[in-house]
Structure 1
């Protein structure tokens, strides 16, 4: 009887270990293992990947109870503990220009710029705006809060100037440009595509609430709802779910184009392949 009990305990233990190793999900109908990069966070949003230093930047809530107040932080490659980016008041938005080695931080007092390769601190380039979201494609774009209007940053002799993008006339929550120069906006009614060279909006049928829009290293665009990642079927302009992820908050891609997402308390990388 003792031998049977011992064997049963060993079997249960091994089953638990194997179950932990096999934690994953299906992405594009292929199994992907989960690798936990950081945990014990409070709602990590706005994920961005620094390809030079292999850092993942994000914002997270530091408010108490019903109060929302945010910090910007990052995790280093091979580390799980995060480091706080200091001196960004209520830092919420991040955009990384990996081509030109620049990183931008948006907070309640404006936008700050920092060199990726030179540790020479941050400098404020835009003042007087409360930053909701940012996106970079050649030029830095941002959405202010609470007006929810889109601006583009232009460099002039006197400094960086924020130019209102009046062709996006409505209040928006997210903005992105894919590899074909098509634009995407979300507003209170849902998701719209604006094809390159046109001003007409194409309504994308499906869910109408989004956590983020992200573009991968190949210029493909992805849309995060509360419980999944979606792509657009351009034959009928509907959303197709490629991954079921409960309570997703953010998305980005590493240098190998692996998906990295966040849930209410963790940042997770997805790696293709079966469990070992």
Structure 2
């Protein structure tokens, strides 16, 4: 803000050149010089200096002070907004999502995560066991997987999940299987064992989207999350026991305080 206006406001508020000088940490003659400069610029008298100690503002000074006060508020607000807008270096964070959680969970939580200005997020999609290994290797800060795990130095938090169904025509002989290590493969093997089913024909496909493409063309059957199936794909309930949870996993001792606090944020937004 213009220093002449700052000096003017100090004199106006104190009604005293000496007090204004002390307030501004400058000499009294400097205050006088600056007020004279402002008066010359404006072509008006701002103060009646006939008093021994106090000076009296003229009507023009009253109007100028009102304008200057508005300018000061605008200046202070602008400075504060500028400070807040200065971008601090963001912490780069990689999150691992399984193929199902990347479709069902990621879109619901991404807006909340992007609102956290501390982080620059990168999303990687892989199967549950690959996510676990990436967390252990510290290539991924946190992962969201489809099956419970037991691993040293890993903390897992249970999240709302989904319902698995038998997708595809029940009479199909071809079983479409996700690759070993995926969450769906884990539950598919449990289902086959429980039902005493030994598939006559299998096809391993490492992509949910590819499996959905086959199902929509009437090829094969598989276990899949009901939430990501197109409406036209035939599905059959396999019971509440195949309502599963998702899991947030990360190191149990996170040395980075910012990343440690991110776990709390992730857990909260994913449980909403």
TM-score range normalised by the length of the shorter chain = under 0.3
Greater Rg by CA: 2
Answer 1 or 2: which has greater strand percent: 1
Answer 1 or 2: which has greater helix percent: 2
